[in-house]
Amino acid sequence: MRSYEGVALLAPVSFGYARQSPHTAPWFIGKTLKLMLQQSGLSKDDIDGFAVSSFSLGADSVIPLTQHYQISPRWVEQLPYGGASGVIALRRAARAIQAGDASVIACIGGDGAAHRSFERTAGEFSSFTIDSSFPYGAGGPNAAFAMITKNYMERYGATREDFARIAVDQRYNANHYEQALLGHKTLSVEQYLAARPIAGPVHLFDCVMPCAGGEGFLVMDEERARSTGLPYCLISAADELHNAHRDDPVQERGGWTEYANDLYQRAGLGPDDINLVQTYDDYPVISMMQLEDLGFCAKGEGAAFVQATDMRFDGSGPQSRKLPHNTNGGQLSVGQAGSAAGYLGVTETLRQLTQSAADNQVANARHAMVSGFGMVNYDRGLCSAAAILSGGNA
Protein backbone atom coordinates (compact mmCIF):
# COMPACT_ATOMS: atom_id res chain seq x y z
CA MET A 1 0.00 0.00 0.00
CA ARG A 2 1.28 3.47 -0.87
CA SER A 3 2.02 5.74 2.06
CA TYR A 4 -0.13 8.70 3.04
CA GLU A 5 2.88 10.99 2.91
CA GLY A 6 2.20 14.68 2.43
CA VAL A 7 -1.40 14.63 3.63
CA ALA A 8 -2.35 16.74 6.65
CA LEU A 9 -5.37 16.55 8.98
CA LEU A 10 -6.36 19.67 10.89
CA ALA A 11 -9.06 21.92 12.32
CA PRO A 12 -10.93 19.31 14.40
CA VAL A 13 -14.36 20.45 15.53
CA SER A 14 -16.88 18.84 17.89
CA PHE A 15 -20.14 20.70 17.94
CA GLY A 16 -23.52 20.97 19.55
CA TYR A 17 -23.91 17.83 21.68
CA ALA A 18 -27.50 17.61 22.93
CA ARG A 19 -29.71 14.86 24.29
CA GLN A 20 -32.52 15.97 21.98
CA SER A 21 -32.70 18.73 19.45
CA PRO A 22 -35.26 20.41 17.21
CA HIS A 23 -32.49 20.82 14.62
CA THR A 24 -31.90 18.23 11.92
CA ALA A 25 -28.70 16.76 10.49
CA PRO A 26 -28.04 19.56 7.92
CA TRP A 27 -27.89 22.05 10.80
CA PHE A 28 -25.33 20.03 12.76
CA ILE A 29 -23.23 19.36 9.65
CA GLY A 30 -23.41 23.00 8.50
CA LYS A 31 -22.58 24.44 11.92
CA THR A 32 -19.63 22.06 12.20
CA LEU A 33 -18.44 23.23 8.78
CA LYS A 34 -18.74 26.85 9.85
CA LEU A 35 -16.56 26.27 12.91
CA MET A 36 -13.99 24.42 10.79
CA LEU A 37 -13.81 27.40 8.42
CA GLN A 38 -13.53 29.85 11.30
CA GLN A 39 -10.74 27.83 12.88
CA SER A 40 -8.74 27.51 9.65
CA GLY A 41 -9.37 30.98 8.24
CA LEU A 42 -10.59 29.41 5.00
CA SER A 43 -13.72 30.47 3.14
CA LYS A 44 -16.55 28.27 1.92
CA ASP A 45 -15.21 28.47 -1.61
CA ASP A 46 -11.87 27.05 -0.57
CA ILE A 47 -13.67 23.77 0.16
CA ASP A 48 -13.51 21.72 -3.05
CA GLY A 49 -14.04 18.32 -1.44
CA PHE A 50 -16.89 17.32 0.85
CA ALA A 51 -17.33 14.02 2.66
CA VAL A 52 -20.39 13.45 4.84
CA SER A 53 -21.75 10.73 7.12
CA SER A 54 -25.23 10.87 8.61
CA PHE A 55 -28.04 8.48 9.51
CA SER A 56 -30.75 11.13 9.51
CA LEU A 57 -30.52 12.97 6.18
CA GLY A 58 -33.82 11.39 5.13
CA ALA A 59 -34.38 12.03 1.45
CA ASP A 60 -31.16 14.05 1.22
CA SER A 61 -27.59 13.03 0.54
CA VAL A 62 -24.30 14.88 0.32
CA ILE A 63 -25.45 16.46 -2.96
CA PRO A 64 -28.53 18.32 -1.66
CA LEU A 65 -26.28 19.51 1.17
CA THR A 66 -24.06 21.32 -1.33
CA GLN A 67 -27.08 23.45 -2.18
CA HIS A 68 -28.05 23.88 1.48
CA TYR A 69 -24.65 25.46 2.08
CA GLN A 70 -24.10 26.75 -1.49
CA ILE A 71 -20.71 25.14 -1.97
CA SER A 72 -19.36 23.74 -5.26
CA PRO A 73 -17.08 20.79 -4.52
CA ARG A 74 -15.50 18.84 -7.36
CA TRP A 75 -15.10 15.80 -5.12
CA VAL A 76 -17.87 14.40 -2.90
CA GLU A 77 -18.18 11.28 -0.81
CA GLN A 78 -20.89 9.89 1.40
CA LEU A 79 -19.82 7.32 3.96
CA PRO A 80 -22.66 5.35 5.55
CA TYR A 81 -20.30 3.23 7.64
CA GLY A 82 -21.48 4.09 11.15
CA GLY A 83 -18.67 3.85 13.65
CA ALA A 84 -15.99 3.33 11.02
CA SER A 85 -16.99 6.41 8.99
CA GLY A 86 -14.41 8.80 10.40
CA VAL A 87 -11.35 6.64 9.79
CA ILE A 88 -12.63 5.61 6.35
CA ALA A 89 -13.35 9.28 5.51
CA LEU A 90 -9.78 10.26 6.32
CA ARG A 91 -8.46 7.44 4.14
CA ARG A 92 -10.66 8.36 1.16
CA ALA A 93 -9.95 12.06 1.51
CA ALA A 94 -6.19 11.51 1.87
CA ARG A 95 -6.10 9.55 -1.40
CA ALA A 96 -8.09 12.26 -3.19
CA ILE A 97 -5.60 14.87 -1.96
CA GLN A 98 -2.64 12.75 -3.11
CA ALA A 99 -4.27 12.22 -6.52
CA GLY A 100 -4.99 15.92 -6.87
CA ASP A 101 -8.74 15.35 -7.18
CA ALA A 102 -9.35 17.98 -4.52
CA SER A 103 -7.23 20.38 -2.52
CA VAL A 104 -9.23 21.06 0.66
CA ILE A 105 -11.67 18.41 1.87
CA ALA A 106 -14.11 18.84 4.74
CA CYS A 107 -15.02 15.52 6.39
CA ILE A 108 -18.06 15.80 8.64
CA GLY A 109 -20.30 13.38 10.54
CA GLY A 110 -23.48 14.82 11.96
CA ASP A 111 -26.89 13.73 13.14
CA GLY A 112 -29.89 15.25 14.83
CA ALA A 113 -31.79 13.57 17.65
CA ALA A 114 -35.46 14.26 17.09
CA HIS A 115 -37.95 12.82 19.55
CA ARG A 116 -37.91 9.02 19.10
CA SER A 117 -35.68 9.17 16.03
CA PHE A 118 -33.43 6.45 17.49
CA GLU A 119 -36.32 3.99 17.35
CA ARG A 120 -36.66 4.58 13.63
CA THR A 121 -32.97 4.19 12.94
CA ALA A 122 -32.93 0.98 14.99
CA GLY A 123 -36.13 -0.48 13.55
CA GLU A 124 -35.17 0.05 9.93
CA PHE A 125 -31.39 -0.16 10.11
CA SER A 126 -30.98 -2.75 7.34
CA SER A 127 -33.03 -5.46 5.67
CA PHE A 128 -31.49 -8.17 7.87
CA THR A 129 -32.39 -6.07 10.91
CA ILE A 130 -35.99 -5.58 9.78
CA ASP A 131 -36.56 -9.26 8.99
CA SER A 132 -34.41 -11.11 11.47
CA SER A 133 -33.40 -9.13 14.55
CA PHE A 134 -35.86 -6.30 15.33
CA PRO A 135 -38.83 -8.75 15.52
CA TYR A 136 -37.10 -10.45 18.47
CA GLY A 137 -37.31 -7.42 20.71
CA ALA A 138 -33.78 -6.17 20.21
CA GLY A 139 -33.64 -2.51 21.25
CA GLY A 140 -31.21 -1.40 18.59
CA PRO A 141 -27.90 -3.26 18.76
CA ASN A 142 -28.20 -4.02 22.51
CA ALA A 143 -29.25 -7.64 22.02
CA ALA A 144 -26.54 -8.45 19.48
CA PHE A 145 -23.86 -6.96 21.71
CA ALA A 146 -25.29 -8.60 24.79
CA MET A 147 -24.82 -11.96 23.08
CA ILE A 148 -21.32 -11.01 21.95
CA THR A 149 -20.48 -9.85 25.50
CA LYS A 150 -21.92 -13.01 27.06
CA ASN A 151 -19.93 -15.20 24.71
CA TYR A 152 -16.73 -13.22 25.31
CA MET A 153 -17.13 -13.45 29.10
CA GLU A 154 -17.65 -17.21 28.99
CA ARG A 155 -14.88 -17.83 26.51
CA TYR A 156 -12.19 -15.63 28.05
CA GLY A 157 -13.31 -15.23 31.66
CA ALA A 158 -13.86 -11.47 31.52
CA THR A 159 -16.15 -10.09 34.22
CA ARG A 160 -18.32 -7.01 34.63
CA GLU A 161 -15.60 -5.65 36.96
CA ASP A 162 -13.24 -5.73 33.95
CA PHE A 163 -15.65 -3.85 31.69
CA ALA A 164 -16.13 -1.37 34.53
CA ARG A 165 -12.46 -0.38 34.21
CA ILE A 166 -13.14 0.92 30.70
CA ALA A 167 -16.35 2.78 31.57
CA VAL A 168 -15.02 4.29 34.80
CA ASP A 169 -11.74 5.62 33.37
CA GLN A 170 -13.60 7.04 30.39
CA ARG A 171 -15.98 8.84 32.71
CA TYR A 172 -12.99 10.35 34.50
CA ASN A 173 -11.77 11.63 31.13
CA ALA A 174 -15.24 12.98 30.34
CA ASN A 175 -15.23 14.87 33.64
CA HIS A 176 -12.47 16.97 32.04
CA TYR A 177 -14.08 17.40 28.60
CA GLU A 178 -16.62 20.16 28.35
CA GLN A 179 -18.86 18.74 25.61
CA ALA A 180 -19.40 15.34 27.25
CA LEU A 181 -23.11 15.02 27.97
CA LEU A 182 -22.39 12.87 31.03
CA GLY A 183 -19.23 14.75 31.98
CA HIS A 184 -20.91 16.49 34.92
CA LYS A 185 -21.41 13.14 36.69
CA THR A 186 -18.78 10.88 38.18
CA LEU A 187 -18.99 7.12 37.85
CA SER A 188 -17.57 4.63 40.36
CA VAL A 189 -17.10 0.89 39.92
CA GLU A 190 -19.88 0.39 42.48
CA GLN A 191 -22.27 2.59 40.50
CA TYR A 192 -21.33 0.77 37.30
CA LEU A 193 -22.02 -2.62 38.87
CA ALA A 194 -25.31 -1.48 40.43
CA ALA A 195 -26.75 -0.16 37.16
CA ARG A 196 -30.03 -1.56 35.91
CA PRO A 197 -29.82 -4.48 33.50
CA ILE A 198 -30.57 -3.87 29.81
CA ALA A 199 -29.85 -7.15 28.04
CA GLY A 200 -27.97 -10.10 29.50
CA PRO A 201 -24.64 -8.90 30.90
CA VAL A 202 -25.10 -5.46 29.31
CA HIS A 203 -26.21 -2.92 31.91
CA LEU A 204 -26.99 0.79 31.68
CA PHE A 205 -23.39 2.10 31.74
CA ASP A 206 -22.37 -0.35 29.00
CA CYS A 207 -24.70 1.45 26.61
CA VAL A 208 -24.15 4.71 24.81
CA MET A 209 -26.67 7.51 25.02
CA PRO A 210 -28.03 8.47 21.59
CA CYS A 211 -27.76 12.21 21.06
CA ALA A 212 -27.29 14.96 18.48
CA GLY A 213 -24.00 16.50 17.44
CA GLY A 214 -21.43 17.07 14.74
CA GLU A 215 -17.76 16.15 14.35
CA GLY A 216 -15.47 17.21 11.53
CA PHE A 217 -11.94 17.85 10.34
CA LEU A 218 -10.13 19.18 7.25
CA VAL A 219 -7.82 17.23 4.95
CA MET A 220 -5.33 18.96 2.65
CA ASP A 221 -1.72 18.66 1.55
CA GLU A 222 0.96 19.50 4.03
CA GLU A 223 2.09 22.66 2.28
CA ARG A 224 -1.44 24.08 2.25
CA ALA A 225 -1.81 23.08 5.88
CA ARG A 226 1.34 25.00 6.81
CA SER A 227 -0.06 28.10 5.12
CA THR A 228 -3.02 28.10 7.50
CA GLY A 229 -0.64 28.46 10.42
CA LEU A 230 -2.56 25.76 12.29
CA PRO A 231 -0.99 22.70 13.89
CA TYR A 232 -1.75 19.53 11.93
CA CYS A 233 -1.37 15.74 12.02
CA LEU A 234 -0.01 13.20 9.57
CA ILE A 235 -1.28 9.72 8.72
CA SER A 236 1.47 7.23 9.54
CA ALA A 237 -0.61 4.26 8.43
CA ALA A 238 -4.28 3.36 7.95
CA ASP A 239 -6.28 0.36 6.83
CA GLU A 240 -9.73 -1.20 6.86
CA LEU A 241 -11.40 -4.59 6.40
CA HIS A 242 -15.08 -5.46 6.40
CA ASN A 243 -17.07 -8.58 7.28
CA ALA A 244 -13.85 -10.28 8.35
CA HIS A 245 -13.91 -13.61 10.22
CA ARG A 246 -17.37 -14.17 8.79
CA ASP A 247 -17.49 -17.83 9.86
CA ASP A 248 -17.03 -17.14 13.59
CA PRO A 249 -20.38 -18.24 15.10
CA VAL A 250 -20.28 -15.28 17.51
CA GLN A 251 -18.07 -12.23 16.98
CA GLU A 252 -14.91 -12.44 19.08
CA ARG A 253 -12.60 -10.36 16.89
CA GLY A 254 -12.74 -7.82 14.09
CA GLY A 255 -10.87 -7.13 10.88
CA TRP A 256 -8.07 -5.36 12.79
CA THR A 257 -6.33 -8.71 13.40
CA GLU A 258 -5.59 -8.91 9.68
CA TYR A 259 -3.76 -5.61 9.36
CA ALA A 260 -2.61 -4.43 12.81
CA ASN A 261 0.95 -5.71 12.29
CA ASP A 262 1.09 -4.05 8.90
CA LEU A 263 0.00 -0.74 10.40
CA TYR A 264 2.83 -0.78 12.91
CA GLN A 265 5.32 -1.83 10.28
CA ARG A 266 4.33 0.93 7.87
CA ALA A 267 4.36 3.50 10.66
CA GLY A 268 7.73 2.26 11.90
CA LEU A 269 6.26 2.06 15.39
CA GLY A 270 5.19 -0.58 17.88
CA PRO A 271 2.26 -0.69 20.31
CA ASP A 272 4.60 0.64 23.03
CA ASP A 273 5.26 3.79 20.99
CA ILE A 274 1.57 4.69 20.91
CA ASN A 275 0.88 7.47 23.42
CA LEU A 276 -2.90 7.27 23.32
CA VAL A 277 -5.60 5.16 21.74
CA GLN A 278 -9.18 5.89 20.77
CA THR A 279 -11.31 2.79 20.26
CA TYR A 280 -14.89 2.72 19.07
CA ASP A 281 -16.68 2.09 22.35
CA ASP A 282 -20.28 1.35 21.49
CA TYR A 283 -19.95 -1.30 24.22
CA PRO A 284 -16.94 -1.94 26.49
CA VAL A 285 -16.48 -5.46 25.10
CA ILE A 286 -15.80 -3.96 21.67
CA SER A 287 -13.13 -1.65 23.09
CA MET A 288 -11.56 -4.68 24.77
CA MET A 289 -11.55 -6.56 21.46
CA GLN A 290 -9.91 -3.62 19.71
CA LEU A 291 -7.16 -3.39 22.34
CA GLU A 292 -6.47 -7.09 21.70
CA ASP A 293 -6.82 -7.07 17.93
CA LEU A 294 -4.69 -3.92 17.57
CA GLY A 295 -1.84 -5.60 19.40
CA PHE A 296 -1.89 -3.90 22.81
CA CYS A 297 -2.36 -7.35 24.35
CA ALA A 298 -3.00 -10.91 23.18
CA LYS A 299 -6.45 -12.30 22.37
CA GLY A 300 -8.28 -13.15 25.57
CA GLU A 301 -6.03 -10.96 27.71
CA GLY A 302 -8.08 -7.80 27.34
CA ALA A 303 -9.60 -8.13 30.79
CA ALA A 304 -6.22 -8.52 32.53
CA PHE A 305 -4.85 -5.69 30.38
CA VAL A 306 -7.48 -3.13 31.38
CA GLN A 307 -7.15 -4.15 35.05
CA ALA A 308 -3.42 -3.46 34.93
CA THR A 309 -3.60 -0.31 32.79
CA ASP A 310 -4.39 3.26 33.75
CA MET A 311 -6.51 4.58 30.91
CA ARG A 312 -7.00 8.09 32.28
CA PHE A 313 -5.80 10.97 30.13
CA ASP A 314 -3.53 12.31 32.87
CA GLY A 315 -2.09 9.06 34.18
CA SER A 316 -3.51 9.74 37.65
CA GLY A 317 -4.80 6.20 38.18
CA PRO A 318 -3.03 3.73 40.48
CA GLN A 319 -2.01 1.24 37.76
CA SER A 320 1.63 1.33 36.69
CA ARG A 321 1.06 0.82 32.95
CA LYS A 322 -0.28 4.01 31.35
CA LEU A 323 -2.29 4.10 28.12
CA PRO A 324 -4.69 7.04 27.81
CA HIS A 325 -7.81 5.59 26.16
CA ASN A 326 -10.84 7.44 24.78
CA THR A 327 -9.42 10.60 26.22
CA ASN A 328 -12.60 12.70 26.04
CA GLY A 329 -14.81 9.99 27.53
CA GLY A 330 -15.72 8.27 24.28
CA GLN A 331 -19.28 7.70 23.28
CA LEU A 332 -20.03 6.01 26.60
CA SER A 333 -19.67 9.35 28.36
CA VAL A 334 -19.86 11.97 25.58
CA GLY A 335 -22.93 10.48 23.87
CA GLN A 336 -23.39 8.78 20.51
CA ALA A 337 -24.31 11.43 17.97
CA GLY A 338 -25.31 9.01 15.21
CA SER A 339 -22.71 9.00 12.46
CA ALA A 340 -20.71 11.73 14.18
CA ALA A 341 -19.72 9.06 16.70
CA GLY A 342 -17.59 7.48 13.98
CA TYR A 343 -15.62 10.75 13.74
CA LEU A 344 -15.34 11.37 17.48
CA GLY A 345 -12.13 9.37 17.89
CA VAL A 346 -10.48 11.12 14.94
CA THR A 347 -11.28 14.68 16.05
CA GLU A 348 -10.24 13.92 19.64
CA THR A 349 -6.98 12.42 18.39
CA LEU A 350 -6.28 15.50 16.26
CA ARG A 351 -6.81 17.76 19.28
CA GLN A 352 -4.51 15.62 21.40
CA LEU A 353 -1.69 15.36 18.85
CA THR A 354 -1.79 19.08 18.11
CA GLN A 355 -1.72 19.84 21.87
CA SER A 356 -5.00 21.72 21.47
CA ALA A 357 -7.19 19.69 23.81
CA ALA A 358 -8.37 21.79 26.73
CA ASP A 359 -8.50 20.32 30.23
CA ASN A 360 -8.05 16.74 29.04
CA GLN A 361 -4.72 17.18 27.22
CA VAL A 362 -2.45 14.12 27.32
CA ALA A 363 1.11 15.20 28.06
CA ASN A 364 3.66 14.60 25.29
CA ALA A 365 1.18 12.99 22.89
CA ARG A 366 3.05 12.24 19.66
CA HIS A 367 1.54 9.06 18.19
CA ALA A 368 -2.01 7.81 18.47
CA MET A 369 -4.04 4.84 17.34
CA VAL A 370 -7.63 5.58 16.35
CA SER A 371 -9.97 2.77 15.52
CA GLY A 372 -13.44 2.49 14.01
CA PHE A 373 -16.05 -0.24 14.12
CA GLY A 374 -19.49 -0.15 12.67
CA MET A 375 -22.72 -1.38 11.19
CA VAL A 376 -24.46 -4.13 13.12
CA ASN A 377 -26.32 -5.55 10.18
CA TYR A 378 -27.55 -8.67 11.95
CA ASP A 379 -25.52 -10.40 14.65
CA ARG A 380 -22.18 -8.55 14.50
CA GLY A 381 -20.43 -5.34 13.52
CA LEU A 382 -19.15 -5.53 9.96
CA CYS A 383 -16.81 -2.57 9.45
CA SER A 384 -13.33 -2.27 10.90
CA ALA A 385 -10.85 0.53 10.27
CA ALA A 386 -7.82 1.90 12.09
CA ALA A 387 -5.17 4.57 11.64
CA ILE A 388 -1.96 5.57 13.34
CA LEU A 389 -1.73 9.36 13.39
CA SER A 390 1.26 11.42 14.37
CA GLY A 391 1.78 15.07 15.23
CA GLY A 392 3.00 16.98 12.15
CA ASN A 393 4.58 20.29 13.02
CA ALA A 394 4.22 20.18 16.76
Partner 1 sequence: MTTSSKMQSRMKLNRPSVRNKTRPPKQRTPLGETFTAANLPAALSLQHCGDCGQVQYPPRELCHACLGDLVWRETSGSGVVSSRVDLHHSLWEFFKRHTAQQPWPIASIKLDCGPTVLAHVDLDSFGAAGANDVAAGTPVQVFSHSDCSQQAILIMVAASEPIATADRRHAIADRLGLLEPALKPGGI
The least distance separating partner 1 from the CB of residue 154, rounded to whole angstroms, comes to: 6
Q: Both ends of the chain: CA-CA distance in Å? A: 27
**Among residues 43, 70, 184, 196, the one that binds partner 1 under rule CB under 8 A:** 196
Chain centroid to Cα 120, Å, comes to 22
How far is it, in rounded angstroms, from Cα 346 to Cα 36? Answer: 14
Question: Least distance to partner 1 from the beta carbon of 207, Å?
Answer: 9
- The overall longest dimension of the chain from CA atoms, in Å, is 55
Q: Which is nearer to partner 1, 131 or 262 (CB)?
A: 131
Residues 27, 118, 217, 283: which binds partner 1 (CB under 8 A)?
118
Q: Count other C-beta atoms under 10 Å from residue 58's C-beta.
A: 11
Among residues 61, 57, 70, the alpha carbon closest in space to that of 24 is found at 57
Which of 291, 336, 368 lies closest to 85, judged by CA? 336
- Judged by beta carbon, residue 133 or residue 352, the one nearer partner 1 is 133
Judged by CB under 8 A, the residue of 2, 43, 70, 136 near partner 1 is 136
CA distances from 342 to 80, 82, 185 (A): 10, 6, 24
Binding mask 374-393 for partner 1 (x = CB under 8 A): ----xx--------------
Q: Which of 127, 227, 261, 265 binds partner 1 (CB under 8 A)?
A: 127
Size of the site for partner 1 (CB under 8 A): 46
Side chain identity, residue 300: G
Site string for partner 1, 225-264 (x = CB under 8 A): ------------------------xx--------------
Nearest by Cα to 251 from 164, 150, 140, 138:
150
CB of 291 to partner 1, least distance (A): 21
Q: Name the site residues for partner 1 (rule: CB under 8 A).
A: 55-59, 116, 118-125, 127-128, 130-140, 142-143, 146-148, 150-151, 154, 196-202, 249-250, 378-379
